[in-house]
A = this chain, B = another copy of it.
Amino acid sequence: MKEYIKETEGGICAPKGFYAASAAAGIKYQGRTDMALIYSEKDCITAGTFTSNLVKAAPVKWDMRIVEEGTPVRAVVVNSGIANAATGAAGMEICEKTAEKMSALYGGVKDSVLVASTGVIGMQIDPEKICRGCELLYEAKAATKEAATAAAQAIMTTDTHKKEVSVSLTLTDGSEVRIGAMTKGSGMIHPNMCTMLGFVTTDADIDKKLLKKVLKEVVDESFNMISVDGDTSTNDTYVVLANAAAGNKKIESAGEDLERFKEALMYVSVYLAKQMAGDGEGATALFECHVYNAADKTAAKKLAKSVVCSSLCKAAIYGHDSNFGRFLCALGYSGAAFDPDKVDLYYESAAGKLKIVENGMGTDYDEEEATKLLSEEAVTVHVDMHAGEDEATAWGCDLSYDYVKINADYRS
């Protein structure tokens, strides 16, 4: 990691002026927290990426409008348990009621509140419960790492652990800005809960257009490169709130400071993306595919993603089975053009690195050594396309025995 980026504690509360809270509102789950609040003392500019699904949840529509219009934002209210998707006009009213309730508590306008939901599609949220939850959240808000962690836990659905991170970044003039983030979402082992929600807070003073541009570039190489089950959620959301509380010289043009901010946001996003990729229930390994010397960036991304999304490849990783044909097969249907007879492929893990394929055919490698390499908790498959100079990395997880018994043991 670059010397001007340092990992810190505090999650979404690490940046100045941000508060967090969690509450048990009984939206659907009992005996656990199911609502979270991100609150900023100062107005925030926002940038966001949302689901590409035509069927968009009500909160996604609500947030897209506010982020698009550029209304200053003060708070984000999140609930788990019910997704508020396929809920029609009633669903939009819930978003409005929630925003009205929260904004009234701090004396702002309803459009200064973003909302996000994750859970079952097609169910309506009880307005009384979510409004009561807003009161609990506002009372409980605190600018502490404990509050941040509790918020990260409240938005979990089938995640096996909370996902948060924060860094401090030193700009060229020596001033410090902070970035904090939390996400929820686990791998393809939970297709019914695959919604990804992510929230980034920063006290950096940065131009809105640049923030939007940087966010898109970062998401394309982080969250858009992790394996999912193909079931693009109706609720996927990744939003950045910037409140300028750091008082840094505003980043308003391309240059070293913008690059540093992008690197810090990339670090935070890739960290969380890998956390999500590795969190499929039953997953025993983080599975990374690094494609290099590809004809172009688009091809590199398609190829890397095709491998980590492949059930065959995931099962092979779980089975510690060097069934390299599966990797070649996945590259072959990725949609990217390449010469199969030029592909070299390597396995790498804590146990070492081994060349498995040369010019599209298996090398005379040692099966035992390959199995040893594939038995580590994090395995990388490197693919040299010998076609150009672009590269890309994608992340996924293996498929556990419970998930696909037969495939992993296929060759034995």
Q: A86-B325, A324-B122 are in contact. Are A330 and B231 (CB under 8 A)?
A: yes
Chain B positions within 8 Å of A328 at CB level: 55, 85-86, 121-122, 234
Pick the contact of A54 from B188, B232, B281, B340 — CB < 8 Å?
A: B340
Chain B positions within 8 Å of A362 at CB level: 86, 122
Which residues 334-357 in A have Cβ within 8 Å of B in the complex? 337-338, 340-341, 357
The digit string for A368-404, where 1 denotes a CB below 8 A from any CB of B, is 0000000000000000000000000000000000111
The residue on B at minimum CB distance from A233 is B329
Are A329's CB and B53's CB within 8 A? yes
A276 within 8 Å of B by Cβ?
Answer: no
Chain B positions within 8 Å of A137 at CB level: none
Number of copies: 2
Chain B positions within 8 Å of A357 at CB level: 86
Are A231's CB and B54's CB within 8 A? no
Pick the contact of A338 from B54, B83, B337 — CB < 8 Å?
A: B54
Q: Quote the shortest CB–CB distance from A409 to chain B (angstroms).
A: 10
A88 within 8 Å of B by Cβ?
Answer: yes
Interface of chain A, main secondary structure = loop
Chain B positions within 8 Å of A54 at CB level: 331-333, 337-338, 340
Which among A332, A341, A405 has the greatest number of chain B C-beta atoms within 10 A? Answer: A332
* Complex: A42 Cα to B189 Cα, angstroms: 52
Which among A56, A310, A341, A404 has the greatest number of chain B C-beta atoms within 10 A? Answer: A404
* Complex: A410 Cα to B54 Cα, angstroms: 23
A229 within 8 Å of B by Cβ?
Answer: yes
Pick the contact of A234 from B122, B323, B332 — CB < 8 Å?
A: B332
Pick the contact of A402 from B53, B340, B405 — CB < 8 Å?
A: B405
Which among A83, A232, A311 has the greatest number of chain B C-beta atoms within 10 A? Answer: A311
Q: Interface size class for chain A? A: 35 or more
Are B121's CB and A192's CB within 8 A? no
Q: Quote the shortest CB–CB distance from A91 to chain B (angstroms).
A: 9
Are B191's CB and A311's CB within 8 A? yes
A407 within 8 Å of B by Cβ?
Answer: yes
* Complex: A85 Cα to B332 Cα, angstroms: 12
A167 within 8 Å of B by Cβ?
Answer: no
A143 within 8 Å of B by Cβ?
Answer: no
Chain B positions within 8 Å of A309 at CB level: 230
A315 within 8 Å of B by Cβ?
Answer: yes
A87 within 8 Å of B by Cβ?
Answer: yes
Q: Quote the shortest CB–CB distance from A182 to chain B (angstroms).
A: 23
Chain B positions within 8 Å of A17 at CB level: none
Pick the contact of A192 from B83, B193, B407 — CB < 8 Å?
A: B407
Are B360's CB and A192's CB within 8 A? no
Are A190's CB and B332's CB within 8 A? no
A326 within 8 Å of B by Cβ?
Answer: yes
The digit string for A131-172, where 1 denotes a CB below 8 A from any CB of B, is 000000000000000000000000000100000000000000
* Complex: A371 Cα to B404 Cα, angstroms: 26
The residue on B at minimum CB distance from A314 is B191
A204 within 8 Å of B by Cβ?
Answer: no
Are A88's CB and B230's CB within 8 A? no
Q: A54-B340, A83-B325, A193-B410 are in contact. Are A311 and B402 (CB under 8 A)?
A: no
* Complex: A325 Cα to B233 Cα, angstroms: 10
What are the 5 tightest A-B residue pairs by CB atom distance, in nearest-first order?
Answer: A121-B325, A55-B332, A122-B325, A191-B311, A232-B333
Q: Can you spell out 10 A-B residue pairs with CB atoms less than 8 angstroms apart?
A: A54-B340, A55-B340, A85-B328, A86-B357, A158-B406, A191-B407, A192-B407, A229-B312, A231-B333, A233-B329
- Given A85-B325, A229-B312, 18 other A-B contacts at CB below 8 A? A54-B338, A56-B332, A85-B328, A85-B329, A86-B324, A86-B357, A86-B362, A121-B326, A122-B323, A122-B362, A158-B406, A191-B315, A192-B312, A230-B230, A231-B326, A231-B329, A232-B332, A403-B404
